[in-house]
Structures are given as structure tokens and as C-alpha cells.
Structure 1
Amino acid sequence: MRPAALLAACALAASTVLVAGCGSENAASGSRAASGSPTCASRPPTGDPADLKRDGVTILSQGCGPSPSAQTEFEVTNTETEPFTYTISFEVRNGSGEVTSNPHRTVASVAPGQTVRKTLELGEVPTAGARVRIGKVRAVPADEASEVSGKCPPSGMRITTDEGDAAMGLRAVGLHLANCGTGVVKINGYPRLQLLDERRRPLTGVRILDGTGAISTAGGPDAPPRPVTLRPGEAAYASLMWRNTTESGTPVNVPYVRVTPKPGSPTAIVTPELDLGTTGRLGVGPWTKDRVSRPATPDGYSGGRPSRTPGSTGE
């Protein structure tokens, strides 16, 4: 996080919450704090309810943290019947309404009926009138959550996705499997996927293909699946590829994907946000060992992009 800048004022906006400014003077009275530390009063949010409350997440107030850094306070309420893990994407906008950053926060294992209050540090905000709103909320059953910063799942396999690449309507996302446990993980073939909608219901009408060659041959011919052995700290990846062409029909967007890394293994739900257009096809590459060196300790793999060397194989 960049060094925090001194913010000039605390203000409110009609449509979104204004990030509180932190200066060397008290924001409410205009006087310097007795300790000489920057202070500013916590402000209640006002504005468009859709910007402040969405999918179980509510922005509560804003103020200054222990350092001169903007922050926002929010809470998450689980209305489901089982524990859920929530990932919230916020939008920080400057005085002109431009998005300047998209901080994320994951709140893990919120029990049914529980409300959890958290503070999100926003760091340096470019203007005193910056505004923060809820951008997107993704909620996954806790026993299928597989986020990087959390504990290693009982299976010893952590499933994540990277940010992907896009060019001329062609899309690609890396699906990553990390051995975060203490034993050896052996995989072979293709990950099995179930596409889910906004309410995590199965989507139909999309063909999931073994291999990506039917989508594009830009990366060369499809490599055949080979057995992959992962020791603790090692990882593998599989490429997801599609085209987001939109012609006749209704475009299909897939926020959630349930992944089965190998037959009989526990599933994990990831949120790659697939914009499949109207093509009705998604290509899936085979598991391939990631050649990037990783610490060989439990929880040592921190995610990231795979090493996409053509023709690389597992052990």
C-alpha cells in the first residue's frame, strides 16, 4: 500500500459515501488533537441505498484510522442456513466520479444469522471528496471456499483463478491448484467444471470442451493430459478459454464456477466472472505443472499467474 497522504476534509455525497479526510486538525472542531496525531470524526453514510447496502453487505460509517489513512466500516450479514465466505469489491471514486481503485476484502466463514463488522483500509485517496461504494459481492459456502489468504482446505488442495487475459474477443483465465497440505497430490486429465449463475444455481446451454483448440490455436496445439505430481508447496494450472462474441440470443455471464480437481475430490467454488457472450462454449485445458518455483511448505503457494510454457508437462 502506498504511503498515506493527508486528506483535507470530511464530506458527504448525495449518491455515495464520501471518504473521510484525515488532516492534522480535528475535522469536527477544526482544532489540532492534543497528541498532535491526525483525527477526524466518524461520519454516518447517506445516499443511494444501492451503493451502501447490497447482498448482505452494508457500509456503516467512515472515519480515520490510527494512521492518516482513509477507511470505511462495513458489516456482513449471513441470511443463509450454512456458513458462507464473502468477497466484497469496493469502488473508490474521485470528485469527478472516476474509479481510482477497487479494494477487495474477504470475510471468511460467517455463521448463519451472524453479522460481522469489519474495517477496510483504503490507503491514500487522491482527493478529499473521494467516494466509496459497494461494487460487487460474491458469496460462497464456507466449505467450498478456497481463497488464497485463508487456511489450507482439508483436502490439501487450494483452487484459485488469476485475473486472466483478453484480446480481440478472446478470453483466457488460469485455474490454479496449489498443494498447500503436507502430503503428495496426484492429478491427471482435465478439471471438471459446473457453471453457476448469480444465485449459485447450475447454468445450462454451455458446452464445456476438453482442450482449448476448438476455441483458439494461438497457443499451439492442445497438449495431451499427463499425470502431475505435486509435492507440498508445488502447483499446477489449467487454462480456461472462450470467446465473448455476442450475436443472436442472450449473452451468458458466469460469476461462479464449481471445480472438481480430480474424480472423488472435494469441490471448490471460484469466481472467474466468465463473459461467454452467445457462443455457448468454454474450452478447458489439462492440468499442467507450474514450473515457477514455490516454497515447499504448507500454505507456501500464494497464487499468481502460471508459467505457460508450451509443451511443459507434469512429473
Structure 2
Amino acid sequence: MRQFEKPTRTLTARRPAPAAPAATAVAALAAVLLTGCGTQTAGTSGTSARAGAAGAPTASGSTGPCGAPQPAGPAQDGVRITAVGPACAEYEVTNPGAEPSDITVLFARTPDQASGPGNLSRTVTALAPGATEKGRLDLTAPGPGPATAKPGTAPQVKILKVRSVPSAEAPRPDGPCPPSGLRLYADQGDAAMGLRVVGLHLRNCGTTTVALDGYPTLQLLDQGHRPVDGVRLLSGGAEIATGTGADKPPQKIALRPGEGAGATLVWRNTTEAGTPVNVPYVRVRATPGAAPVMVTPELDLGTTGRLGIGAWAREDAAAQAPASRPPAAGG
């Protein structure tokens, strides 16, 4: 906690002079404008406030800075949009699970303003079981995508996707070094003509050398974090495609502090007869005895039933620069 110096003298409070009517009006207008879309935080386009274990109820029957409250409806994986206005939208994220979780929400809106954004991703970290955090989206910030807005149309915000990862297993590309001494995360990935490639990145941020020999250990998980059966995990990616980096032979690596390694996941999303398999989560262990990290590579395996896993290979620091995932949870 930051310490403050004790005052060296005593100040006597004085009653302020009455404000002039014009000054009062200006101050009131400024207050309205400042609260219209909330206080902006560097690096984000919205605000959030955490409520207690049960969350604070949304006011009803009144119009807030983001418009009238939305009719009460079922939450989507614990997330609910509570109000939408011309410049912002408000939402609530509740952790329905039994352990603290990092929850990432992907929002989408129709681009009804020339400067409006496309998809917006927000992540709430270490949200306690049953707790609720409120947030606000700035719908006026510049964003990707073409501007196809029609003047005078109202914003339409919806929840596209919700991803929840146990905070104890969440990847921290830019965070403090975890107790394991190994920082692991998945990159943004690449896709072309049905071929998918995602990189796993590992960095030794600890103080001891880690021995790598072969492949990372993977467990595929569905939306409810349940194991997914029926998918062949291949050592290497040659059966899927060549030239992806996943078909290099395994090698023994002594990963010293500060050094990094990478592995590649490769698959195809071809769909033929049968039911397509989608795997949002993968629990990864760098070595068989390492602490698990849950990433969200969004494996759309189609009906192929195969996933190629590349062996660990040395990776320089430049290749390990954390890549921001597309608006999804992640990784």
C-alpha cells in the first residue's frame, strides 16, 4: 500500500462562494459528457467494476448513460448485456463455475457509425465463483472492418463467444513468472484453405534449467472443460501437411533461464460424413510433470478426427513476442 506523508500544517475549511448560474450549467453539462461512456483506461475501450459474490442488481425503470436497461433474459454462459445506447453498452459477467476463472467475452455489433468498431473482446481475470463484474463498451472507438453504417440506425450489440479458463491455469504472456518457472501460451494462429496452424510458445522465466525431450502433452476439452474423445493425437504434422514446422524430428533441449521453445499444432477443418468436432480448449503440459496451462486454440477439426503435434524446438526471443489473439479468449 502506498504511504502518504502526514500534513505539516492544519488547513481551515472555508465555505465556497455560490457558483454562478452559467458556471453551474457548464459543470453539469461536463459531468453528463464525462459519464456518457465512462472513464477510459489506457489500452482498453471500456470500463468495468467488480460486484460482490452475488453481484449488484441492475437498476430498472430508468435510463442510464448507455440507454435504457435491456429486458431481463437468460445469460449466455454467465454474460448478459444490460443496456445499449448510441455511444456505449453495459454488460455483466458472472462466474458460474466453482473456481476463480479468467473469462473472455467476444462482443459484436452492427457498424452503424463510420468510426464504430467491429468485434470487441473483454477479459475479466480471477473472477471468484458466483461473483459478478460489470463493464462498459465504448461503441465510438475506431476499430477494424469496413464502415457500412446507415445514419440514424441504433447500435445492436450481441455476445458472440464466451471462454472461461481456471485462473490457476490461465496463460500469462505478459504477467509475472508462474511458480512453475515456465510461461506458456498459444499464438494467434494462421489459416488457409482449410489448413489450421497454431503455435505454442514456452519461455523459461525461472532460475533453473528445464529439460525438454519430445512433444508437449495435450488434453482436448469441450465447452464444459470435459475431455474430448475420438481424436487422434499425432506425433508430428506430416500426416496433415508438410512445411508447417510440425514435422521436425524431436530433440533434447536444455532450456536455460531466459530461453524459449516452440511447438506447432496443425489440423484441417474438412467436413465430410459425420459430426464435426470443435474443441475450444486444450490443456497443455510442457513436460509430463509440468503444471498445466489451458489455452483456447479453437480447434475446428471438422470430421477429420486428427491433430498433429509438433515437437519442441528452440525459439528466439523475437519469435516469442506475445501475439494478441483475435477477438476470442485466449490463449
2:323 corresponds to which residue? 304
**TM-score when scaled to structure 1?**
0.72
Match of 1:85 in 2: 102
**Is the 2:194–2:270 Cα contact (8 Å) retained in structure 1?**
yes
Number of the residue aligned with 1:222: 247
Query: Which residue pairs with 2:18 in the alignment?
Result: none
Q: Report which of the two has the higher share of helix.
A: 2
User: Does the 8 Å CA contact 2:91/2:136 hold for their aligned counterparts?
Assistant: yes
SS in 1 for 2:168: helix
* Residue 222 (structure 1) shift: 2.6
Aligned partner of 1:59 in structure 2 is: 81
Give the structure with higher Rg (CA). 2
User: Match for 1:124 among 111, 119, 142?
Assistant: 142
Query: What amino acid does structure 2 have at the position aligned with 1:59?
Result: I
Q: Which residue does 1:193 correspond to in 2?
A: 218
CA contact (8 A) 1:253 1:277 kept: yes
Q: Deviations over 1:189-234 (max 9, x none)?
A: 1001111111111011110010011111234893211123444443
- What RMSD in Å do the two structures reach over aligned CA positions? 3.2
Q: Matched residue of 1:143: which SS?
A: helix
Which residue of structure 2 lines up, in the alignment, with residue 12 of structure 1? none
* Counterpart residue number, 2:266: 241
Alpha-carbon distance in 2 for matches of 1:164, 1:141: 22
Matching of residue 94 in structure 1 with residue 111 in structure 2: yes
**Map of 1:44 onto structure 2:** 68
Distance in 2, Cα, partners of 1:118 & 1:152: 28
Aligned mate of 1:267, from 277, 292, 316: 292
- 1:270-315 CA-to-partner distances (Å, cap 9, x unmatched) read 1100111111110000011222438xxxxxx65239xxxxxxxxxx
From 156, 171, 176, give the equivalent of 2:196: 171
Secondary structure at the counterpart of residue 101 of structure 1 = coil
**How many residues are matched?**
261
Which of 178, 181, 199 aligns to 1:156? It is 181
C-alpha distance after superposition, 1:89-112 (max 9, x if no partner)? 11132139xx95222121111112
What is the alpha-carbon distance in structure 2 between the residues aligned to residue 113 and residue 218 of structure 1? 46
Provide the C-alpha distance between the structure 2 equivalents of 1:169 and 1:62, rounded to a whole number of angstroms.
37
Structure 2 counterpart of 1:264, which letter? G
Distance 1:280 1:71, change over 3 A: same
Q: Which runs of 5+ in 1 are unaligned?
A: 1-30, 65-69, 295-300, 306-315
Compared CA separation, residues 115 and 251, structure 1 to 2 (3 A): same
Equivalent runs, 1:67-78 vs 2, <5 Å? 70-78=87-95
- Which of 160, 177, 190 matches 1:135? 160
Q: 1:214 to 1:59 in 2, by over 3 A?
A: same
Deviations 1:49-108 (A, max 9, x none): 47xx310112233569xxxxx543322212222211111111132139xx9522212111
Shift of 1:46: 2.9
Alignment of 1:195-214 (within 5 A): 195-214=220-239
Q: For 2:105 and 2:171, how far apart are their aligned partners in 1?
A: 15
In the aligned structure 1, how far is the partner of 2:168 from the partner of 2:302? Answer: 30
Q: Is the 8 A contact 1:33 1:39 kept in 2?
A: no
User: Aligned equivalents of 1:49 and 1:302: distance in 2?
Assistant: 41
2-structure distance, mates of 1:232, 1:47: 54
- Where 1:279 maps in the other structure, the secondary structure is coil
